[in-house]
Structure 1
């Protein structure tokens, strides 16, 4: 039995708790912690965690010898300290996205993981969704040809009041705006599908949330070593929240949501119709790939449990979380400096540290008011609301 402690009982914690509860024969939640102890107590009651001990200081959990995994569901600026302390205490760690607030903090977490020989996994639950798993395999099959362009639309919508929460909308505590905390899922997907680019250009602004220092929209252009280009729009100002990743291969277009289109040309190079044979071949291959058993956070938590049970690597490692943060940091640097940013970002770069980022990024508005907690913690998606 793998014993789990949840640190952070806010909006995202139910997704983790429900995920672990899918495997009652393999794991048990033995502690839950939050600086607002009543929130931890409420989650204990709501999910029937009768044997779980409630704490308000995560360091109490680290004294528990029977805790195998610390699952961090706190705001981004706290991730590194909690993770490093947990790893040094001999615990395995799962941490919500983003991995940390800076590359410096990521590297401290990775070093603690290596030094203590403990697992470190960063939540990237969309990698485990059926449509992305299938798209990944289609890309790897080569049926669509080399990918020459990617279009990433990470369109979310959040009302003005979203940034009233005390830690949101600040560079210091949230680490950034929609690029870091919303588009990170799609950015992680892009890296998983195509790898890291070599150059980044970007612009960003805050167009609808004057209670936040951070951006609510950014647009980035990426250049890969093989010449391929990609564009990423990160937003919390898009009504309806339509999201997609479109990959243009030399032979065909493929995407999530799934669609395949293969053009054929006339002798003058203009489109003359569709290559239905190739489209069918790609579609048949896509349909032959098994669907994933679980959705949401559950499959990634299952993967972590399997890694501990079988002494193997997790599918999403700490290095994957760092890669996503490095690309996002490059977007912030490019948008702030109005310059082309080359990857990787080195340790001497001002954007490597939290203090350097704080001194370099624009503060679009001053955050003047805040609330400690929302009474409604539900996470809803506009595309699902009829």
Structure 2
């Protein structure tokens, strides 16, 4: 029975807690930690957890019986808490984004390697049936080479969203919607399509003048084969509609699932390729369902990896790839130049200090509240 601790008991923590609750024969939550211990105590009471409460993660790490830690704190704290936990001999699941900089990602991965412990970065959307099926369909190659990818990570957040004390600043949040909202779609994109060879991007803040960071970004990725990818990240889109569309030479597939295939008439104009559409539909419908979706699916993956029953699906190197792509978007938008990938230590955005120095600051953060009374969140539109 693995002993679990949750560090950070804000809005995302219940997703981890409910995920662990799916596997009562394998794990038990024994500790909660928050700099506001009353929040942790309320979570323990509300969710009926028999867990010790801490106000400092370093105190929690003194408990030798803890095996696995979920880090659910603001992004700027991820590296320190994760490295301390790994050095204390604990396995770690860290929330997205992995860290505030690529330098921190590299230090976290080095700590995992040095201590022989598992480090997994949350990318729960990979553990959704719709995404697993789409990945399998792309791997068949039946769409032909992918010529264009469209990533729409559309969210909406009101003005007061950035009033929370750690949000809306480069120092504490590490970025805006590109980093903290589109991270999951960008992760899915690079998992399915691979990393582009260059990025050209623009960012803006159109509706939140209480934040330093962007509330919309548009990036174009280019691959060595000439194909393009269009990535839009936003917290100004009503309806919060999200989609990933892969346009191949033979057919188009997407999440939410839709397939359209065309073939050319004699004059080059399109006509429906019904045979290919039916083949892709049959393949998609025949693929298995995921047993545990979202956070529960990723938690199960980590539990099995700790037990030696499978290889870890999403490790720290996978988490780093996603942050590298986001960092390239920020570097391009701030410099006004196209950025080549992969990024190296010579990138002005490789370190946290470099990010703080070179990022575009749109507005000053005007307000700061410790907590909101309403902790409910939205987690995106249906991608089935």
**Length-normalised TM-score, structure 1:** 0.97
Aligned ranges for residues 275-314 of structure 1 at < 5 Å? Answer: 275-310=273-308, 312-314=310-312
Per-residue deviation, residues 243-295 of structure 1 (Å, max 9, x unmatched): 10000011100000000000021111111x21111111111000110011223
Partner SS, residue 84 of structure 1: helix
Aligned ranges for residues 57-136 of structure 1 at < 5 Å? Answer: 57-136=56-135
Does structure 2 conserve the Cα–Cα contact (< 8 Å) formed by 1:239 and 1:382?
Answer: no
Which residue is 1:141 aligned to? Answer: 140
CA distance in 1 between partners of 2:86 and 2:57 (Å)? 13
Does structure 2 conserve the Cα–Cα contact (< 8 Å) formed by 1:33 and 1:57?
Answer: yes
Which residue is 2:213 aligned to? Answer: 214
Partner SS, residue 307 of structure 2: helix
Of stretches 40-49 and 214-223 in structure 1, the one that deviates more from structure 2 is 40-49
CA distance in 2 between partners of 1:223 and 1:11 (Å)? 36
Question: Unaligned 5+ residue runs, structure 2?
Answer: none
Which residue is 1:37 aligned to? Answer: 37
How far apart are 1:383 and its partner, in Å? 4.8
Tell me the number of residue pairs that the alignment of Structure 1 and Structure 2 aligns: 382
Distance 1:227 1:84, change over 3 A: same
Per-residue deviation, residues 304-328 of structure 1 (Å, max 9, x unmatched): 1111112542111111110000000
CA distance in 2 between partners of 1:10 and 1:192 (Å)? 28
* Aligned counterpart for 2:369 among listed residues 371, 374, 379: 371
Partner SS, residue 152 of structure 2: strand
Partner SS, residue 201 of structure 1: strand
CA distance in 2 between partners of 1:311 and 1:144 (Å)? 34
CA distance in 2 between partners of 1:42 and 1:295 (Å)? 27
Which residue is 2:175 aligned to? Answer: 176
How far apart are 1:381 and its partner, in Å? 5.1
How far apart are 1:62 and its partner, in Å? 1.0
Aligned ranges for residues 258-269 of structure 1 at < 5 Å? Answer: 258-269=257-268
Which residue is 2:337 aligned to? Answer: 339
Partner SS, residue 335 of structure 1: helix
Does structure 1 conserve the Cα–Cα contact (< 8 Å) formed by 2:250 and 2:263?
Answer: no
Which residue is 2:224 aligned to? Answer: 225
Which consecutive aligned stretches of 4+ in structure 1 deviate over 6 angstroms post-superposition? none
Which residue is 1:330 aligned to? Answer: 328
CA distance in 1 between partners of 2:378 and 2:261 (Å)? 35
Which residue is 1:22 aligned to? Answer: 22
Once superposed, what is the RMSD of the aligned Cα atoms?
Answer: 1.0
Per-residue deviation, residues 184-210 of structure 1 (Å, max 9, x unmatched): 000000110011111000000000000
Partner SS, residue 276 of structure 2: helix
Which residue is 1:354 aligned to? Answer: 352
Which residue is 1:198 aligned to? Answer: 197
Per-residue deviation, residues 306-360 of structure 1 (Å, max 9, x unmatched): 1111254211111111000000000000000010100111112210011111111
Which residue is 2:53 aligned to? Answer: 54
**Length-normalised TM-score, structure 2:** 0.98
Partner SS, residue 163 of structure 1: helix
Question: Unaligned 5+ residue runs, structure 1?
Answer: none
CA distance in 1 between partners of 2:82 and 2:380 (Å)? 32
Partner SS, residue 244 of structure 1: strand
Distance 1:204 1:9, change over 3 A: same
Does structure 2 conserve the Cα–Cα contact (< 8 Å) formed by 1:334 and 1:340?
Answer: yes
Does structure 1 conserve the Cα–Cα contact (< 8 Å) formed by 2:5 and 2:68?
Answer: yes
Partner SS, residue 5 of structure 2: strand
